Structure 1
Amino acid sequence: MDTKIFSVSEITRQIKLLLEDSFPALWVEGEISNFRPHHSGHLYFTLKDADAQISCVMWRSRASTLSVEIKDGLKVRVLGTIRLYEKSGKYQLDLFRIDAAGIGNLQLQFERLKQELFAEGLFDASRKKKLPQFPNRIGIITSLTGAAVQDMLTVANRRAPSVPILLYGVKVQGAGAAEEISEAITIFNKHHLADVIIIGRGGGSLEDLWAFNEEILARVIAASDIPVVSAVGHEIDYTIADFVSDLRAPTPTAAAEMILQNEKDIRNWLEESRKRMRYGVEDHLARLRSDMVNIRQSYAFRRPMDVFQNYTSKIEERTERLYRTGQAIIDSSRVKIDHVARQLGSLNPANVLTRGYSMVFKDEKVVSSVNDLALEDKIFVKLKDGKITSIVLSKENE
């Protein structure tokens, strides 16, 4: 009996017919992971549960009518057929319909931790540290075998080849990855190994990036004295590390570009600044030379004694004017004072006595009326050259 020998194409075709005929159209429930929208409009993602996963595709003509926003972590029910592609030997679900069924377990964990850390203030802009403009050394914590580290080193060598880079290799996915990254950050801080730290990796599914959603890593980043830049996945990927870090870079390549100033640009700027300073100094010196020439050619510089005599004459003239003005003020004031003195003198009682009048006092008070005196009162009469003591013997009213 001859043994039947199948070619790869024959056995693959038999499996395809058996598989596709056995599962015409079916509903499958699972959690979306590794979703990547294609520029053509087709949707590609993985549908998974705790124990298995299957690739899915929805073509653009069907995807355009979806009412569900497709994203990683979304729990869905999908309707489709099994298709096996002979060229690759892989099978996938060709979808007609996608209905939301809730949030997946990992996405639910992500949202819970995000809300908890937000409430604690770990995402506040006020606690984020400012990155140095010109770091002296950069630390990179990532897998040493991934494409991300090569991308960052390429950018660093192109933009700032003089800045030292300290690489620290860690696992970036799977069990223990979050602990390794956390330990690396702690070591950098303990020994002050860098001015800024980049933690990152390339893109992947929600499960692949999960180490950067772990609470232990989030708290170590928040406690770091050295600024930490999170550069995880692609621009559409967001992790807890992105929210708690001091700066989020959309990709590892972008992280290196954001941290490192282009040394060529800096040299060009310095050269332009040097030229501007030189031109500024030369222009200033030229103006000073021009001013010196004008001074030398000026009348004051050529005939200083004439200028001195001119100012001396002006000073003497103004001095004389001040003297005359002051003297006029004094004379006017003296006339006014003499006039006031004469007025005061005419009112002085002593001057009245010189004209033959006298003043009568009783008990040191001036007597101005006969009624102020009584018989036998002792009075004093003041004359211009002395005083008389008298006794009132009689009085008569007029």
Structure 2
Amino acid sequence: MRRSLRRSRRGFSTIIAEVMMVLIVIIMSAIVFIWVTPTFQSNTGQDNSGAAYAEKFSTIWGNFATFAPSIPETVYTCTALSYANIPSGMCPLSNPIVTCTTSITSPTTANILVPVNGVCLITASVGNVFASAGSNVTVAGATINGLIGNYSASVTLRNVQVVTWIGLTNVQTVNISGSSLNTSGITNVCVDLCNSALYEGGRGIFTFVNNTVTGQVESEVSHQATVTGNTISGRLEVESADFGQITNNKIGMLDLDQNGILVVSGNTIYGNFSETPGIGVLYGTNRWCATGNNVFVSGSHNEQLCIGNIEIDIANTGSIPVNLVAVYVSNNPVAGPIAWKLLSGGPAHNSLPITIPVGQSVNVTMQWTPPQTSFAMPWTGLYFVFVSSHINFVDGYLYFGHNPALTITSQSRPENRICPPCY
């Protein structure tokens, strides 16, 4: 009897255990269902028909400012600039002359000669400075009368007061920041137009940041010309640069011509340069140009000649048509014109949505509006996002200097981010 009761209890315990396991499975399934359902719905934009999963599209090609060389321009040496009325005693240097082989730390009215391949640090007020071929000169926290760089390796000015004029010819690296170029009322230095405060020419790197200039600044034939955060009372000319970036400046007049790649953004242009009355911005022939977020106080501005197009090809790889309803570049909605056309032919369109039939591809051409903030050059990548009506998206980077600029293709996937900013 006792053995039979024990067997009954054991059987009953087994039944209870099995029932509990079934209940646990049911409860876990309910929890998973409750958690998955809203997630699924949010990722498909409340599309319960399965269309979001049938929709597939991918990038296949892209182009962005690829291979746009600048147009050559004559570069003048200081000896060839006698016609320009450059201040006397600068080229050649007049006596008294002190040769700097290491540093100048005590004030002197003498002119400073940095010899061929020499290195000199100047931290005290001096007369004119002449940087010879291959030399490296740095001026920091001092006042100088003027400066000539002649085939120098580098010229660096940090927090410097320049009394008259700067002339830089074929200097490999120029970096001028936080400085003041005054010209002392000398308006008859006329390298191009008059009232010149700085002339820089040569296939080097020109960086001009957070300076105050009375007069005009001229940069020609640079490999990279970065001009950011300056106040320039006269004209700023950037001509024949491979890459030109002009951002967040306050300028009397802006003159841009014969550049390869040019980005102009966040500037205030007053249009009050006496040498070019009535003109705020003058765009010439630039191979690839993008502009935006500029303020024009007065004067004409022909920014319609500054067009920065990017192109992207997208293929429909799914089983239903694709409608692309939003486009973002640099994490911002595309503000400029957008045009698209099927690669198989047919009419061109100039508005959203971009409709791609099954098995076909489309070419999309957009104008890029650069952001107000400065960014490194050459650009490492231009980020883009296309979003469909079923809340799928495809993104990628266009890389400058690559042909094609889209080096890695990507496949669409569910959108689970907030756009903008599309991070």
Give TM-score scaled by structure 2 length: 0.19
Bigger helix share: 1
Q: Which has the larger radius of gyration?
A: 1
Q: Larger RCO: Structure 1 or Structure 2 (Cα < 8 Å, ≥ 6 residues apart)?
A: 2
Give TM-score scaled by structure 1 length: 0.20
Bigger strand share: 2
